[in-house]
């Protein structure tokens, strides 16, 4: 009985020379992708303004969002406006507007923020 020698391991693949091959993105970056990224960046900035309770900053960013996304694809404009009002002009009127939004917009992703910044809920 003869034992066969184990096969030698294959050499690791060689890395392409950086000067000879350009790495391509896994998918093309389309204008739609750029638009989605811009919207995400604006939403993130508005959330940052909320976190630091910057009502005027939130309102300024909201105006940019309205200018660039007038169709309001994610139905965020009213919620951010209510929050900006509560941050900038706290009081019974802003609280009542926050409560109205909270009661009406049951599916809004901003509902919990309205509760926090307008109605003082944790």
pLDDT digits (tens, 9 = 90+) for 66-118: 999 999 888 899 999 999 999 999 999 999 999 999 999 999 999 999 999 99
The secondary structure of residue 91, as a DSSP letter, is S
45-55 pLDDT, tens digit each: 999 999 999 99
User: What pLDDT was estimated at residue 20?
Assistant: 60
Angstrom distance (rounded) from CA 97 to CA 114 = 10
Based on the number of CB atoms within 10 Å of its own CB, is 83 exposed (0-12), middle (13-18) or buried (19 or more)?
buried
Q: Which residues contact 39 (CB under 8 A, 6 or more apart)?
A: 65, 68, 69, 73, 74
**The model scores a pTM over 0.85:** no
| Angle CA 35–31–68, to nearest 5 | 35
What pLDDT is recorded for position 28?
79
Positive or negative torsion for Cα 71, 67, 114, 44: positive
pLDDT for 21 beyond 90: no
State the pLDDT at residue 23: 75
Please, which pLDDT band fits residue 121 given cuts at 50, 70 and 90? Answer: confident
């Amino acid at each position: 009985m003869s034992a066969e020698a184990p096969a030698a391991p294959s050499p690791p693949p060689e890395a392409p020379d950086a000067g000879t091959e350009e790495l391509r993105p896994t998918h093309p970056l389309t204008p739609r992708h750029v638009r989605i990224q811009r919207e995400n960046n604006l939403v993130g900035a508005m959330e940052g303004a909320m976190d630091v309770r910057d009502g005027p900053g939130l309102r300024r960013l909201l105006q940019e969002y309205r200018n660039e996304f007038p169709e309001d694809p994610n139905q965020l404009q009213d919620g951010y406006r209510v929050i900006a009002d509560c941050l900038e002009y706290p009081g019974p009127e802003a609280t009542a507007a926050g409560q109205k939004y909270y009661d009406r917009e049951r599916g809004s992703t901003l509902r919990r923020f309205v509760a926090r910044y307008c109605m003082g809920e944790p």
